[in-house]
Chains A and B, each alone.
Chain A
Amino acid sequence: MKKMLLSLTAILPMLILSGCNMVVFEPQGPVARSITELINWSLIWMLLVVVVVFGLFGYIVWKYREKPENKDYEPPEEHGSTLLEIIWTGIPILIVIALTIPTVKTLYALEEAPKGYEEKEPITIHVTSADWKWIFSYPEEGIETVNYVNIPEDRPVLFKMTSASTMQSFWVPALGGQKYTMPKMETELYLVADNPGSYEGQNTNFNGRGYADMKFEVLAQTQEDFDQWVDDVKDTAPKLTEDEYEGLLKPTHLGRLTYSNTHLEWVNHADPNSKAYTNPELYRGHGYQGKTFEEDDNYKNENPNVIEGHGEEESHDSQENHGGDHHGH
């Protein structure tokens, strides 16, 4: 018991010390920093709890253990103590309150552009997760990237996220917390990078065979570099076609790709009436195979009603400038 206690108490300070080189404790932007501050605040209180309980535990077990000398000692009848019980109900309540207030504040703050950046105009990037890649569309710039995303430093980035396949989670730990991407729904996440730099992002929500490698790079650039990059992409990158896009959505691993238009022209997966791009045949693996089902709203069906309806649906939520070259199918 003592041995275990020693090893545990030895490890805990290590948590604080080695915190210096863990990504969650090295925030690279205001969003991640606000979470790190919250975590540090909770660590102080939790450490207090650990010290008190471990101390009390060690003391009691050591003092009242059975020894040859106390064989005849008969413990007293004792049923409790109202005072003590009020104390150890009351103190945890106070600790919980101390943790709740900053938690709720941070929860609300994270829904908006971070403090000090409200004035700066955010850049909107659409994130579409698919098996097993990340697709980033810049509607204002009219470009699209796969498995990497360039952002300007010191400017809030509003990620509008959805999924073309399963439920996935968009996480760039150096810049902020994560949020799920879900088909036919849109979630939003603000991130800001303090400085130019490269940060790793990844999916954290398990989604099948290719899950472990579903990563992307976030490259924060100065505004000038970013504008230069956008211009270069517009000039040099190929155009994405819908056929090619269907190929992209197959369950594969892809390297980096860049296009000088966006798939939002023909489908926004966040739209509840958008076509489903699923194809169970591509997911056949080993083992006994079950029956699969034809879906009415699948992209392979040539059902003009569904597609036209979807086109109209999309136009009203796309205030961005890609409305001009928007077409049905």
Chain B
Amino acid sequence: MGIKWDEFFITGDPLILGSQIAILLTMIGAVAGITYLKKWKYLWTEWLTTVDHKKIGIMYIISAVLMFFRGGMDGLLMKAQTARPEMEFLNSQHYNEIFTTHGVIMILFMAMPFLIGLMNVVIPLQIGARDVAFPQLNALSFWLFFSGAMLFNISFVIGGSPDAGWTSYFPLAGKEFSPGIGNNFYAVALQIAGIGTLMTGINFIVTILKMRTKGMTLMKMPMFTWTTFVTSILIVAAFPIFTVALALMTFDRLYGTHFFTVSGGGMDMLWANLFWLWGHPEVYIVALPAFGIFSEVIATFSRKSLFGYKSMVFSILGIALLSMVVWVHHFYTMGSGPAVNSFFSITTMAIAIPTGVKMFNWLFTMRKGRIKITSAMLWALAFVPCFVIGGVTGVMLAMGAADYQYHNTLFLVAHFHYVLIPGVVFAVFAGLYYWWPKMFGFMLNEKIGKWHFWLFVIGFNVTFMPMFFLGLNGAVRRAYTYSAESGFAPLFMLSAIGSIVLAAGFAVFCYNIYWSIRYADRNISSDPWDARTLEWSTASPVQFYNFAKLPEVKSLDPFWHMKKKNEGLTLHDSEIEEIHMPSNSWVPIYMGVIFGIAGFFLVFEWHIAAAVAGIGIFAGLIIRSFDYNEGFHVKKDEIHRIENAWRKTEGEVHDHVS
């Protein structure tokens, strides 16, 4: 195969050498630690082979936090490089790799898994189900995502990172202009992770349609369930486009086809269209569940049901529909002509209408409420003004003719950070503070949480607000340096300072997790926020079968009304029945590993080795086809014991907030 070992590891850069050493030491440390604590068996049976949606959700969230760290480091390096004009901290190649991986990781390996993690934990509980529709498929989704994420992440120490931007525009991303294998990592790793995401979409559509508990009609579903449902439909509609685009990219790069090349009749505009046909719905795939989280958090802490529930549902559907017909606004400047640009200007601006409806509904949910300002609620509150700024600049960008002056400048970069950070990152923080006690049975520290909040929000505004003005003054995105005469220096410096504050906020968040794991009070209520939806009607942390008796729903906010009327809260011995649960399986993690290996060989263009690994994939499929394990039954005694344990202590716990 002619393996070029001298090109295998990336050498000659002290930053990367340091990372290589750090990765090696961390891996040795982790293996040694697990061996010393004799935790391998625990890890294997409780986590790696689990099909429990809550544990899978937690693994998604852990991966997302790690990826947040990685993507955040990329961001900080970019900010350091542009802090002063003509800096020589990073060279242009290194900078190009870093903004590429920053974008890919933050969207696909941070935002997506963070939200999918929360969906996994919460959705079956919110609809009163014992698991998702296809538990083993769910585990496979996770392991394929994880495999893709790891494959993508090793690129910067082995083989070389992709360097054509997260949009990976052709012809630049083709072999003609990027002969290194860096962009193979993009094509292959995103493909593997994308398959996992597609399966998640299918899984959640079926789960929400088929597994809702008795009485929960579609219009009685909690808002987070609604947004997850619509997001899943969007995933199923949009991800196949990306799958195809990445496959064509792989053919172009590995086998010399001409879908997007300059030579041989390739069409670079085709990539841009396919990419954004997926890429724009993708923005809403991450934004919609976030809107759902805010809806839950705002309703709970205002002690009111969501204002305008029906119009909320219709606006989600409207946003989802419109999100499929706006993709050209990412390249008005491609010269499609005024008719096309007018059409897409109008559809894009139209998105502001349902989004505005949601905004006012949130505000009016709080009106006449009693707003309890907890850490989770703070994130939801800060979301409103910050997202409005992202929204109005979005409308400005949507105006095709005006976009000719904003396109590819830092104005655009500031805009989408003002949408994605308040719209997604604030949401996952809100969701994490909110559902943390449900996941782990203790709360994140509120005081540290407020430090986390203020540092992060102030840092965010100081980092990205200056970029609007830089963009209007002609500063373009993705440039690794600028001249001293440009006059950009002070605002770039301000932005860099902001990024340090932002990073400090993230560090405080990590410290909060550490502190709370060590010191937080374990003796808390299963419903510490006095919340409204079904997930709070069961134990914290949730027992593996979720509900001893599936709840019955009569209205919106079912748990709130159960508490008000004091019905359905207790469990009689006679109501306990055996529960059928799915068994663990090693197949999903095996598939993740083998997909990763096959992908790795494909990235390095070692086709024979990749084909051999591909046989392993088929072996996994065959094994799964002959798997007749029907799961197991939880005995009445065990349910009785588990239920008694948490229900008895419920009366005497420390009530934290209400």
Could you list which residues of chain A lie within 8 angstroms of chain B, going by C-beta atoms? 1, 3-5, 7-8, 11, 15, 18-19, 21-25, 32, 34-36, 38-39, 42-43, 46, 49-50, 53-54, 56-57, 60-61, 64-66, 70, 73-81, 84-85, 88-89, 92-93, 95-96, 99-100, 103-104, 106-108, 110-111, 131, 165-167, 169, 171, 173, 176-180, 182-185, 187-188, 200, 202-212, 276, 278, 280-281, 283-293, 295-298
Contacts and interface: CB of A to CB of B under 8 A. Distances in A.
Interface string B246-259: 00000001101000
A205 B160 CA distance: 22
A11 B465 contact: yes
B552 to A, nearest CB: 21
Interface in B246-289: 253-254, 256, 261-264, 268-269, 272
Interface in B299-357: 302-305, 307-311, 331, 333-335, 337-338, 341-342, 345-346, 349-350, 352-353, 356-357
B338 A104 contact: yes
Nearest to B7: A288
B544 interface: no
A75 B331 contact: no
A202 to B, nearest CB: 7
A295 B368 CA distance: 69
B152 to A, nearest CB: 14
A282 to B, nearest CB: 9
B213 interface: no
A119 B103 CA distance: 48
Contacts of B378: 1
A298 B263 contact: yes
B371 A66 contact: yes
Contact of B335 (A42, A93, A180, A286): A180
B395 A167 contact: no
A292 B179 contact: yes
Interface string B361-377: 10110111111110000
A288 B472 contact: no
B172 interface: yes
The interface centre, meaning the residue of A18, A73, A173 with most chain B CB atoms within 10 A of its CB, is A173
B425 to A, nearest CB: 16
Given A78-B307, A100-B349, A180-B333, A290 B171 contact: no
Interface of B: 4, 7-8, 10, 12, 92-93, 96, 158-161, 163-165, 169-172, 175-182, 184, 253-254, 256, 261-264, 268-269, 272, 302-305, 307-311, 331, 333-335, 337-338, 341-342, 345-346, 349-350, 352-353, 356-357, 359-361, 363-364, 366-373, 378, 381-382, 384-385, 388-389, 392-393, 395-396, 399-409, 457-458, 461, 465, 468-469, 472-474, 476-482, 604-605
Given A38-B402, A180-B335, A285-B180, A75 B302 contact: yes
A183 B181 contact: no
A76 B238 CA distance: 41
Given A74-B303, A280-B176, A23 B472 contact: yes
Contacts of A39: 396, 402, 405
A103 B399 contact: yes
Given A8-B461, A92-B352, A108-B338, A184 B307 contact: no
A111 B262 contact: no
Given A42-B402, A104-B345, A290-B179, A1 B368 contact: no
Contacts of A286: 10, 12, 93, 160, 180
Contacts, number: 350
A92 B370 contact: no
A204 B371 contact: no
Given A53-B388, A79-B309, A1 B408 contact: no
B264 A289 contact: no
A78 B169 CA distance: 49
The prevalent SS among residues of A at the interface is mixed
A252 to B, nearest CB: 14
Nearest to B312: A80
A184 B170 CA distance: 14
Contacts of A180: 331, 333-335
B379 to A, nearest CB: 11
Given A212-B479, A296-B263, A75 B304 contact: yes
A26 to B, nearest CB: 10
A287 B181 contact: yes
Contacts of B605: 290-291
24 contacts: A4-B461, A38-B399, A46-B396, A50-B389, A50-B392, A57-B384, A70-B370, A74-B370, A78-B307, A85-B308, A103-B399, A131-B177, A165-B262, A169-B333, A179-B333, A180-B333, A183-B171, A204-B409, A206-B96, A212-B92, A280-B176, A284-B179, A290-B175, A297-B264
Contact of B177 (A21, A78, A165, A187): A165
Contacts of A22: 469, 472-474
Contacts of A298: 263
B172 A103 contact: no
B368 A75 contact: yes
Contacts of B8: 288
A211 B91 CA distance: 12
A179 to B, nearest CB: 5
A18 B469 contact: yes
B93 A209 contact: yes
A297 B388 contact: no
A104 B341 CA distance: 8
B93 A169 contact: no
Given A85-B311, A204-B477, A208-B172, 9 more contacts: A23-B473, A36-B405, A38-B402, A80-B361, A165-B177, A179-B334, A180-B335, A206-B96, A285-B160
Nearest to B372: A66
A57 B363 contact: yes
A42 B399 contact: yes
Contacts of A96: 346, 349-350, 352-353, 395
A165 B171 contact: yes
B262 A107 contact: no
B177 A278 contact: yes
A57 B400 CA distance: 30
Q: Which 6 A-B pairs have the closest CB atoms?
A: A177-B404, A287-B160, A295-B263, A106-B401, A204-B408, A293-B256
A66 B181 CA distance: 57
Contact of A290 (B180, B331, B457): B180
A295 B384 CA distance: 53
B352 A57 contact: no
B469 A15 contact: yes
A92 B356 contact: yes
Contacts of A285: 93, 160, 180
A285 B7 CA distance: 11
Contact of B395 (A46, A202, A276): A46
A4 B405 contact: no
A293 B465 CA distance: 45
Contacts of B92: 209-212
Given A4-B461, A287-B180, A75 B175 contact: no
A150 B165 CA distance: 33
B526 to A, nearest CB: 22
